[in-house]
Structure 1
Amino acid sequence: MIRKNQIIFIVILSLLFSVFIPLSINQKVTAASNFTNDPRDISWDAITTTTFSGVTNITTFVGPDNAHEIVLNSIKNAQDTFYLEVYTLSSQSLVDELILAKGRGVDVVVQLSDDRVNSYEDDYTERAAIQLDAAGIDVYWTSSSFTFTHAKFWIVDTQETYVYSGNWAPSSIPESPAARTNREMGLLFNDASIAAYYEGVFTDDGLISTPYSTIVNPGDLQSPETSGTYEHPFSPSTFVGYAEVTPIFSPDNSYDLLSSLIQSATTSIDLELQYMKFDCDVLDDVIDAALRGVSVRVLIPEPGVANENVTEVLINNGAQVKFFKGLGHNHNKYVSVDGETVQVSSINWSNNSFENNREAGAVVKSANVATYFKTVFDYDWANAETPVGFAAPVALVSPLVGGIATSSFNFQASFAINTYTSGQLFIDGSSVHTWTDPDGIEGFIVDTSTYSDGIHNVKVIGTPTVGDPIEVTSKINIINEADWKLLITEIRYDADDEPEGEFVELYNAFDFNIYLENWELTDSEGAYNMPEGAQIDADDILIFAYDKTIYLSEMTALGVTAPAADYNLGDIQLANTGDDVSLKDPADVTKDAVAWGSGSVSGVTTWSGAATGADETLQREPADEDTNNCNTDFIVDTPNPGVVYVYTSPTNTGFTSYAFVLPIIGIIGLALLILRRKR
């Protein structure tokens, strides 16, 4: 038997003389179970970065939904050869199927990691090795020149290549698709050229591996995962079309390929990873992408110390981060860029994975493949948990986004995490103030009367001692007009279908727009928080309906022509016998409130008139006046969403969309009641 150090010596000699020996990176080795000793018969350049482009047959699959089906069938369908390189092997069903394949004449070769992180991984992997060896299967321990052989790939009949993020374990390949085990992703390439490439790598690794020898007192294999409550919504999908497939391996080309992929992003990056560490240089590429405006979403497990710190850095630099929930563990190593290129592999985001381990996977440019995995990612993202309690390095503290600045207002910014040489405050692109060596909360009084009322853009820039300036922007409102004129103007609390038919109407009687992000409608029990970008234009109306479809159908049934609702009501459910609705700004200041029946709001007189029926609503008239007495401010009438009436003088009726004018006599001389309609 040729010993490992002898093989390494042969490898060195072959490299010295390789200039004289023509070799093919796709050269087929016909009997991997008898790894050749002759360097001329192997492909020393198997891991050169190569892209296979053209019409390709690719199958996408995920765990736990369908991985066992795919993996089991890959063994059952093998006719000639089955070559597996994997970190751990602990699934009895898969071990049994490998033994059956050997029994029907398939050349089965298994390479297992020479070292593993935990003793229990040693126990069950060694037990699997004993069973395979007893069945006549060639088993090898991979070279200790790798810290770990963490790869998970296999080649069938020199035609099919599988790359996967999970080990051959019940947690990664459960027998039941309903088992709440690991989230994993995998790819199957049905292509002889691609298979020859991966087989070349498998053979190269085999040349420096060690044949199995007897193990004393191994442990047991893991118990199967045969049941669960996971809905397993995903099936395998096969796509035949143009694709670009680039094999990726650590330590050979993984950093270069992933770094280049991240740097190429122009619109989006999605990452679903087991973990991220500060020593992983690709993390810097992700941060750079977020800072240049690429939308970055990172999905990682509930953090340990390393993840928690990385999470804060990612959030502070503009990436979105969520913590994986719903399944047992996020064991994935998934990257997607610009919705068209994905990476599926065994590569965790640590320096060790990129530089010291044997890892394997593939980078695939294919819109179909990318769409399949994005659907899985979006599902996991929707079920994930948003982190709380992480401080932004630079932030506008007051006013908050959507907040109100008035009179001489103290604009406050926070400078945290780093040390800073300067901080700057801008309003509408003009520099207002510069702080020197800002630390913590810094403020500056701004005379807002020098600005027009309405929406303004505020920017804060912090320049750290080390690194690029950090910039945050916000939209805020400057309002110095004495009378408040953004008011609740109509409420339907008694609907045919309750609460689905309920709605609330707002009217902006100001002659300027108001930014409403972070504003809230609430009835004390429930609330609706207005989303990013929400605003109401001058002299316009917004409608909030519990169910937008039922709201419209009920208005139609009443013979009312109603506009579509702009937003919903969140979990607000209005009580017929008494309730209240308040409009609050981001500083939690109540700007308007309405109460009826048994409802009450401090400083507001509750409506004590007759309760409305299903064909009536409370309506503010006129819509631009508020006395804080609902008996004075409101009437009961047929629902009329999207239409309000305001008083004006006869000489001030220039609103071009009014349908008609009604004279009202006896209110401070002569006034006109003007109809305003939602635009």
Structure 2
Amino acid sequence: MSRRTVARLIICLVVCGCFVVASPAAMPASATNDAAGQIVELYPNPTTDENRGEYVAVEIAEPGDWTLTDGEGVVDLPEDRTGRFAATRHPTETATHTNATLVESDGSFRLAVSGETLTLRRGDTVVDTVSYEDAPESQQWRADREPRWQPAGFEPRAPMTVSNTSVEAFVLPDNPAAPLDAIEGADNRLYLAAYTLTDERVVRELIAAQNRGADVAVLVEGGPVGGMTERQAARLDDLTAAGIDVRVMTGEAARFRYHHAKYAVADDTAVVLTENWKPAGTGGADSRGWGLTADSAATADELAAVFEHDTTWKDTPKWESVRGEIETIEADAAPDSYPQRHPPLSTAADELTVLAAPDNAESELVGLINNTDEELLVIQPAIGDRDYRLLRAAIRTADRGVEVRILLSGSWYAEEENTALAEALRDRATDDDVPLSVRVADDTDRFGKIHAKGIVADDTAVVGSLNWNDNSAENNRELAVAVTDPAVADYYRDVFVADWKASSGDGSGFSILPNGDLPAGLVVVAVAVISGTALLAHRRLEFERK
């Protein structure tokens, strides 16, 4: 079993809404006394035999008698040159991780996984010192970014914004044709990023684009919660047989806990979804989801850049090379269909911003919520816990007098936790007399379950794969767009309000409002942390499959 799999099991992780129990590694302490030299990068724990490839990188601005030590070994750095140098015992392996000039050290200079202190000297003067404890697996420490520890091979991106761009807003299950229409006919490039991919309509279009001569590539998660289905493995086999470059994020060195993003690039069109590329999602057979397409070359290029970043590292091998290593499970197709109550909306949006996690999404959304003045609407399958950063921001917004409404899934695997959270928020709203309302969705003929991850904050709507929990924001690859435009915001607001009214707590379901009571006979079971019981573990492992 890989370290990646063990890590998932240890923290009892559920992709869509979970309580994460983990202890982050201690942050290194760094003290710089001289701008002429600095320790800028560490890679102590590459999870290779003998930690082959470990290194320490320094930046030298002035020539001098520079040395680097770990307290046992000493590395002499070039005296007559400036630039970035990496001290390593394994130059060949290290060359794949850094562009710094390599300086080979002897065997006495070794980076301990359990902690180390590195000292950079100029002659007898200490110029910089960095200390760390318990180096995370396959993560690099860099002095110029926050957080300092991030996965090796991961280069954070800043939000990218375009103005006055044509968009189409749509929701699922109402409009299963919308995501397919957006990718049909691509003759230059068609890149599809997925957590899961089983929608045969999408597979056929990918193959058709390949046959037209387009550059076609696919990236999927190699170990979704509960396991990869036999149906998906067969679809990936079909794509590979058609000559399509199919990549799978997997392995001990994976940069993200899960590749959970759902988007596509079709020539100069970008597609961003809350839903998986499968019958229950894009096929319109079950989930309430939100989606958006943008006819914008700049937006498509930004998504293509994320796709290239994510498919050109050692954690995304070709499907055929790992096919025999990935175990598959059986899964039933979602059989239902639903009417179209909300046709798509086509308009020119004032502004669109691409957000990604773990790069920037959480901090940007905190800022958006903090600046909401009139109304904040949130739809989520679940929320990790009541201390989650985005939820705290929403509560602060309600404390300012802004109306805040949160709609959560009532599906069997999330109802217990969502009900407990909703009750806690109801008590908070009642005690403090603030306009915070929470509903757990009833069974409805509008959709099978809530799977959308969306926000409407005044005139800005956010659509994407980001779940409201620490794992999604900090460890997963997620992607979302924030669209600032009154018409787009009103479109998703109308959908939200209709779904909210359909979950009115009239006896078949459950609604919690400030100063309101729970329906008679409802038993609320508070779950503050993952219990670890076999039943709960089974339910969590099933979470994303439904």
> If the TM-score is normalised by the length of the shorter chain, which range does it land in?
0.5 to 0.7
Amino acid at match of 1:368: A
Cα drift, residue 83 of structure 1: 0.5
1:242-281 alignment runs, 5 A limit = 243-278=350-385, 280-281=388-389
CA contact (8 A) 1:91 1:224 kept: no
Cα drift, residue 57 of structure 1: 0.6
| Aligned-partner Cα distance in 1 for 2:101–2:190 | 32
| Aligned-partner Cα distance in 1 for 2:400–2:305 | 40
| Aligned-partner Cα distance in 1 for 2:495–2:312 | 38
Identify the residue that residue 171 of structure 2 maps to in structure 1: 62
Identify the residue that residue 337 of structure 1 maps to in structure 2: 457
Query: Cα distance 1:396–1:285, how it changes in 2: closer, same or farther (>3 A)?
Result: closer
- Say whether 1:348 aligns with 2:467: yes
1:252-331 alignment runs, 5 A limit = 252-278=359-385, 280-302=388-410, 303-318=414-429, 319-325=436-442, 326=444, 327-331=447-451
Cα drift, residue 169 of structure 1: 0.7
Cα drift, residue 12 of structure 1: 4.0
Query: Cα distance 1:8–1:73, how it changes in 2: closer, same or farther (>3 A)?
Result: farther
Cα drift, residue 98 of structure 1: 1.4
Amino acid at match of 2:248: W
CA contact (8 A) 1:75 1:97 kept: yes
Identify the residue that residue 185 of structure 1 maps to in structure 2: 290
- Say whether 1:149 aligns with 2:259: yes
CA contact (8 A) 1:149 1:358 kept: yes
Query: Cα distance 1:187–1:221, how it changes in 2: closer, same or farther (>3 A)?
Result: farther
For structure 2, which runs of at least 5 residues remain unmatched after alignment? 1-47, 54-91, 103-152, 430-435, 518-525, 527-546
RMSD: 3.1
Match of 1:362 among 476, 481, 492: 481
| Aligned-partner Cα distance in 2 for 1:389–1:163 | 30
Amino acid at match of 2:453: K
Match of 1:115 among 223, 229, 236: 223
Paired residue secondary structure (1:202): helix
Paired residue secondary structure (1:13): coil
Match of 2:499 among 367, 371, 380: 380
Amino acid at match of 2:339: E
Cα drift, residue 276 of structure 1: 0.7
| Aligned-partner Cα distance in 1 for 2:199–2:331 | 6
CA contact (8 A) 1:87 1:113 kept: yes
| Aligned-partner Cα distance in 1 for 2:306–2:195 | 16
Q: Normalising by the residue count of structure 2, what TM-score does the alignment of the two structures yield?
A: 0.60
Identify the residue that residue 166 of structure 1 maps to in structure 2: 275
Amino acid at match of 1:151: A
1:387-536 alignment runs, 5 A limit = none
CA contact (8 A) 2:422 2:440 kept: no
Paired residue secondary structure (1:257): helix
Query: Cα distance 1:396–1:304, how it changes in 2: closer, same or farther (>3 A)?
Result: closer
CA contact (8 A) 1:46 1:201 kept: no
Cα drift, residue 264 of structure 1: 0.8
| Aligned-partner Cα distance in 1 for 2:393–2:278 | 33
- Say whether 1:211 aligns with 2:211: no
Query: Cα distance 1:376–1:52, how it changes in 2: closer, same or farther (>3 A)?
Result: same
Cα drift, residue 222 of structure 1: 6.4
| Aligned-partner Cα distance in 2 for 1:145–1:380 | 36
Match of 2:301 among 196, 203, 209: 196
Q: Which shifted more, 192-201 or 312-321?
A: 312-321
Amino acid at match of 2:261: A
Larger Rg, first or second structure (1 or 2) = 1
Aligned length: 357
| Aligned-partner Cα distance in 2 for 1:389–1:58 | 34
Identity across the alignment (%): 28
Identify the residue that residue 158 of structure 2 maps to in structure 1: 48
Which of the pair has the greater relative contact order for Cα pairs under 8 Å at 6+ separation?
A: 2
Cα drift, residue 226 of structure 1: 6.7
| Aligned-partner Cα distance in 2 for 1:10–1:361 | 33
Paired residue secondary structure (1:293): coil
> Which structure features the higher share of strand residues?
1
1:214-229 alignment runs, 5 A limit = 215-216=323-324, 228=337
For structure 1, which runs of at least 5 residues remain unmatched after alignment? 18-42, 398-416, 418-679
CA contact (8 A) 2:504 2:510 kept: no
Deviations 1:188-234 (A, max 9, x none): 11111111111111111111122222524975896666763x33211
Cα drift, residue 100 of structure 1: 1.9
| Aligned-partner Cα distance in 2 for 1:253–1:293 | 27
Query: Cα distance 1:10–1:76, how it changes in 2: closer, same or farther (>3 A)?
Result: farther
Query: Cα distance 1:286–1:247, how it changes in 2: closer, same or farther (>3 A)?
Result: same
Query: Cα distance 1:72–1:9, how it changes in 2: closer, same or farther (>3 A)?
Result: farther
- Say whether 1:98 aligns with 2:206: yes
CA contact (8 A) 2:173 2:282 kept: yes
| Aligned-partner Cα distance in 1 for 2:405–2:100 | 43
CA contact (8 A) 1:130 1:214 kept: no
CA contact (8 A) 1:61 1:235 kept: yes
Query: Cα distance 1:124–1:15, how it changes in 2: closer, same or farther (>3 A)?
Result: farther
Cα drift, residue 125 of structure 1: 2.7
Query: Cα distance 1:306–1:15, how it changes in 2: closer, same or farther (>3 A)?
Result: farther
Query: Cα distance 1:280–1:57, how it changes in 2: closer, same or farther (>3 A)?
Result: same
| Aligned-partner Cα distance in 1 for 2:99–2:261 | 26
Query: Cα distance 1:128–1:369, how it changes in 2: closer, same or farther (>3 A)?
Result: same
Paired residue secondary structure (1:317): helix
Deviations 1:479-535 (A, max 9, x none): xxxxxxxxxxxxxxxxxxxxxxxxxxxxxxxxxxxxxxxxxxxxxxxxxxxxxxxxx
Cα drift, residue 352 of structure 1: 0.5
Query: Cα distance 1:350–1:262, how it changes in 2: closer, same or farther (>3 A)?
Result: same
| Aligned-partner Cα distance in 1 for 2:101–2:483 | 34
Match of 2:233 among 126, 135, 143: 126
Deviations 1:98-154 (A, max 9, x none): 1122122121100011321012x3433322211111111100012522110000011
| Aligned-partner Cα distance in 2 for 1:375–1:391 | 20
| Aligned-partner Cα distance in 1 for 2:98–2:340 | 52
Amino acid at match of 1:50: M
CA contact (8 A) 2:437 2:513 kept: no
| Aligned-partner Cα distance in 2 for 1:220–1:105 | 34
Cα drift, residue 317 of structure 1: 2.8
